Amino acid sequence: MDFSALRGDFPTMRTDKGVYLDSACQTLRPDSVIEAVVEYYERYPVCGGRSVHHLANEVSVRVDETREALNGFFGGESPGSFVFTKNTTEAINTVAFGLGLGKGDAVVTTDSEHNSNYVPWLTLRDAAGIEMRMSRSGSDGVFDLESFKAAMDRRVKLVSMCQCSNVTGCVVPIKAVAEIAHDYGARVLVDGSQAAPHMKVDMEDLDVDFYAMSVHKMLGPSGMGVLYGKGECLGGLRALQYGGGTVGLVTYGSVDFAPVPDRFEAGLQNYAGIFGTKAAVEYLAKAGMDNIARNDAELLRYMSSKTEDVKGLSVVGPEDPDARCALMSFNIEGLGAHDVAMMLDSIDGIMVRSGMHCAHPFFVSRKVEGSVRASVYLYNNREDIDRFAAALAKIAETFGGSRSRPPRG
């Protein structure tokens, strides 16, 4: 696969002369996704699933086609197993507050989760009396299967963890986790927001009960996410929201809820986003997820080799780039993460993320104030890495170490 040819598909790459290394936050979009969104507004700007005129019928068909594309791409049980959400956060909350967990029930996470996979459980701990348990990793964030096993017993009703950390890039062996969890009668919810864009995900092979992802991290439109669930598992969830589109018939005294997935998609949907989601999935399928994974790994190895001599650089997570998926989080001695990020942008338009990356407990527990995160994707190349490494070396040499920190600007 010639990934260098793909850069021309992205208008941001054609118009902005900087270097975009912030794809773990949100990816750029190719022409085909933008065109699909525009097509909705120009040709079919109506509501699907309600009216019966020809424009509405076309929208309804496109919605069904998008579910079919997702099912083919991710190897799900059926197209109806894919629920449209705003993002991973909404998908996780749908499961968290829909399972009916209560006092005496336990939920197991890891110590490297995004806030979206902590806050719902902390809320349910305080409001409903559930127990939160944690699988502990080493200082580098590498998943410890033995620690996970030690956290499991028959009181655990749900295991909820990321497949890939958005801080360290460490990948969790979800298939093994699911097998252990199911042996204890627990269900499995996966935060796949960092994994789904970068590796082949087969729902049948992983055998997970729920899988949440953000389409905006996989070339799709903003405000689009997906919750996958096995039919039996989705069928047992209470909806997070109620109203139009979620019901069959309502009387003054009763309500019959619609079947899955409509039950979870209250109100008018983001149809432009759904059009764009199908285009994004088709683009990724054409590029090939195995090809994308190999290209990500090659870029990360190159980044590691080009930055290994940068003065005062320390990696947050494993030193080995092959142990990290598509990102490198790091700090420069003597400099704050935000300072480094702003200087990278100022020097050569290098765009990265800085801070705690919405994974506060990971940093607080390790007494680290945050980090800079550079993340790669299919539109990046070695020239991008060269520019990043050169700017970073200049910053470290000029301002790092024992020198006083530059003023914030």
What pLDDT is stored for residue 273 in this prediction? 98
What pLDDT is stored for residue 139 in this prediction? 86
Give just the sign of the alpha carbon dihedral 204, 208, 213, 218: negative
pLDDT digits (tens, 9 = 90+) for 317-340: 999 999 999 999 999 999 999 999
Asked which of 73-82, 134-143, 383-392 is least confident by mean pLDDT, the reply is 134-143
**What is the pLDDT confidence band of residue 177, given thresholds at 50, 70 and 90?**
very high
Q: Please tell me the distance from the alpha carbon of residue 100 to that of residue 266, in angstroms, as a whole number.
A: 20
Q: What is the DSSP letter of 238?
A: P
Total residues belonging to the chain: 409
For the chain, give every residue range classified as CATH 3.90.1150.10: 288-399
For the chain, give every residue range classified as CATH 3.40.640.10: 32-286
170 flagged as catalytic: no
**What is the pLDDT confidence band of residue 2, given thresholds at 50, 70 and 90?**
confident
Q: Please tell me the distance from the alpha carbon of residue 141 to that of residue 359, in angstroms, as a whole number.
A: 12
What average pLDDT does the structure give for the chain? Answer: 96
Q: Which one from 25, 162, 164, 358 is the annotated catalytic residue?
A: 358
pLDDT digits (tens, 9 = 90+) for 99-113: 999 999 999 999 999
The residue-averaged pLDDT of 187-202 equals 98
What pLDDT is stored for residue 238 in this prediction? 96
Strand partners, 313: 332
In whole angstroms, how far apart are CA 141 and each of 307, 323, 335? 21, 10, 23
**Do 125 and 119 contact (CB within 8 A), yes or no?**
no
Q: 3.40.190.10, 3.40.50.2300, 3.40.640.10, 3.30.360.10: which CATH number matches 32-286? A: 3.40.640.10
Q: What is the DSSP string of 289-312?
A: HHHHHHHHHHHHHHHHHHHTTSTT
Q: What is the DSSP letter of 390?
A: H
What pLDDT is stored for residue 401 in this prediction? 79
Q: Is the per-residue pLDDT at 196 higher than 50?
A: yes
Q: Which helix (H) or strand (E) holds 58?
A: helix 54-74
Q: Is the per-residue pLDDT at 62 higher than 90?
A: yes
pTM comes to 0.96
pLDDT digits (tens, 9 = 90+) for 6-18: 999 999 999 999 9
Give CA angle at 210 (326, 318), nearest 5°: 25
Work out whether strand 106-110 and strand 156-162 pair parallel, antiparallel, or are unpaired: parallel
Q: Is the per-residue pLDDT at 405 higher than 60?
A: no
The residue-averaged pLDDT of 125-145 equals 96
CATH class of domain segment(s) 288-399:
alpha beta
Q: Where are the alpha helices (DSSP H) in 75-173?
A: 88-96, 119-128, 145-151
**What is the pLDDT confidence band of residue 1, given thresholds at 50, 70 and 90?**
confident
